[in-house]
Amino acid sequence: MVRKDFIIKNEVGLHARPASELCALCKKFESGITINATKKPFNPKSVISILTAEIKKGSEITVEIDGADEENAMNELTTFFDKLLD
C-alpha cells in the first residue's frame, strides 16, 4: 500500500470538472483507491462520492492505494493534484 497527503490548491476545490477528471483517472487502475478528507473516506472512482465530499481550496486529503499498479497510480495522481489549479 502507498499513501500520500495533498493540499487542494485550486480556487474552487474539486468541483464538477476536476471531479470528473479525477474519477476517469482513478478508473484506469485496478488497484483500490481511497481518499480521506476530513476523516471521511470516499471512493474516487465515483463522481458522486467526490462531489459529496465537498473538498474545498486548502483541504488536506490523504490518498491510499493498494494493488498491483499502486505505484503507477500514485505517480499519475500526484501529477493530477500538482497540476490542479482551476
For the annotated catalytic residues, the residue numbers are: 15
Alpha-carbon distance of 29 to 47, in angstroms, equals 16
The number of C-alpha atoms within 13 Å of 77 and in the hemisphere containing its C-beta is: 32
**85: three-class secondary structure by DSSP:** coil
Q: Are strands 60-66 and 40-42 parallel, antiparallel or unpaired?
A: unpaired
